[in-house]
Chains A and B, each alone.
Chain A
């Protein structure tokens, strides 16, 4: 495997209530092309900050050190990521995201070229062999001269709460079509046709009707399916799901996880799955990264993390999980009615 992106010594600090908070402290981590990587941690661990940093969505006030280098399969060379410069390309409905990041000091990430060119030819072959609806389908003209990853085109992002990530006054079909039109250089009719196909791919019933539905007419699980359809509309190489199933009940959560697994496999996407739930992450991930208080505590193959965790904190997370085979707390206390 080759690295799709390489995070080196990444630190992020925010000011909150006048106090500076270190959200990430010197994170170094490679994300392999085509892998499913889970990033887990409790509240305040920095897992969402890491996801936002990778997507170039950090708030403009965040202080960022370190770098994120990308190996983009099309170009055959490594490129550093310059998130602020690409933000104007995201869809007009997401203007509030663009403006909040405008002028971000993240440009400090875009220093220098990485020297990973030796691995590139292998990567190109791998990606073109695996990708059908993804990167290879893109019109090179739409990619343009900017070879750094573009949010929406190269990176799809699914948030926890689809009610706040979808526009409440725009039909969902248009929200999906807009992504395809913006990044794939399609006409509106072509983009709507693609949106209908995508609604079918995320298993929403009656795509023709659903295209014209507004978010409030859909259930939480259906809205998250729409958000996933929009996230993959331009055939991104990387899908980031940040607690994307945490607000859903367990049955819908299992369905959405199955959907993400299928789409990632079919399109040959790389997946970064952010979760507080180690058991859920383990059902999906090839590797698991454990974060705590902004530090990378442990990174390993899922099997190793579950069965031979090296760090005491990972063990404590595993022990705190209350599964259907765990010893009931009732018994541990010897209590009974």
Chain B
């Protein structure tokens, strides 16, 4: 069974009077508890695909099947209900949240909107979510702008898992984090995936991170799939020109290991 099946997706934009294909005939599937990475240079269509899958923008052509249903045909209450199962975490949680909201407010919203927990039960659920992502329950009363970047991204993950999703779109979700924090967040994501069988569409410009956490990778170039396959196999032996260029451009830490 697949969680997400995308077929022949296309999106064109106009820039300076000229039409160009941001996404051109892209097809892929993601299974339960699987991480599929999208890699590619700036402008290759990674984030546009994420926005199309989330229906933040509408495609010009193609199909998106989510949990077996035609996701593009949904509207109104049916779309809102299905969206609980498809969550997202972006690069900058400070931009994604109202900075003056409290952590409890940010986590309470999805519980209320999707009717997951009645008001009286919400504080307990919020405490459990915070604990699940490795944060102290006492953080609930703090404002989003008061906590650190790493804590904020954990709150973003807590919010994403609050509705028990089957798929989370992670768009450069660890790119802005310090390396010491990044490792902990990646471990948390993998732990959640193991426990809850969540699938990830993992968008990153960093092949080192992709190789560390993704099962499969798609390398995009100018909106098209240049190559795809097992993440480590593709990165070890890229066949496309863009794949070779991306691997060559990744800085190597040359250490004489014991």
Binding stretch for chain B, among A21-29, A102-110, A271-279: A271-279
| Given A254-B249, A279-B252, A280-B251; A333-B42 close (CB under 8 Å) | no
Q: Which of A253, A323, A333 contacts B252 (CB 8 A)?
A: A323
Decide: B249 and A253 in contact? CB cutoff 8 A: yes
Kindly report which residue of chain B lies nearest to residue A281, judged by CB atoms: B251
Q: Which of A254, A278, A282, A335 contacts B248 (CB 8 A)?
A: A254
B235 within 8 A of A: yes
Q: Which of A282, A321, A324, A333 contacts B207 (CB 8 A)?
A: A324
Contacts of A279-337 to chain B: CB distance below 8 A: 279-280, 282-283, 306-307, 316-318, 320-326, 328-330, 333, 335, 337
Complex Cα–Cα for A317 and B31 (A): 34
Number of cross-chain contacts by CB at 8 Å? 109
A220 within 8 A of B: yes
Would you give the shortest CB distance from B219 to chain A, in whole angstroms? 12
Binding stretch for chain B, among A87-95, A158-166, A187-195, A244-252: A244-252
Chain A, 192-227, contact with B by CB distance < 8 Å: what is the 0/1 string?
000000000000000000000000000010000000
Decide: B187 and A283 in contact? CB cutoff 8 A: no
Q: What is the interface of chain A mostly: helix, strand, loop, or mixed? A: helix
Q: Which of B187, B205, B246, B254 contacts A333 (CB 8 A)?
A: B187
Complex Cα–Cα for A313 and B128 (A): 32
Decide: B34 and A318 in contact? CB cutoff 8 A: no
Chain B, 216-246, contact with A by CB distance < 8 Å: what is the 0/1 string?
0000000000000000100110000000011
| Given A249-B205, A329-B187; A283-B41 close (CB under 8 Å) | no
Which of A43, A317, A318 is most buried by chain B, counting CB atoms within 10 A of its CB? Answer: A43
B68 within 8 A of A: no
9 tightest Cβ-Cβ pairs between the two chains A and B: A254-B249, A42-B178, A322-B208, A320-B179, A279-B251, A279-B253, A249-B42, A250-B249, A280-B251
| B residues with CB within 8 A of A | 31-35, 41-42, 149, 178-180, 182-183, 186-187, 190-191, 193-194, 205-209, 211-213, 215, 232, 235-236, 245-256
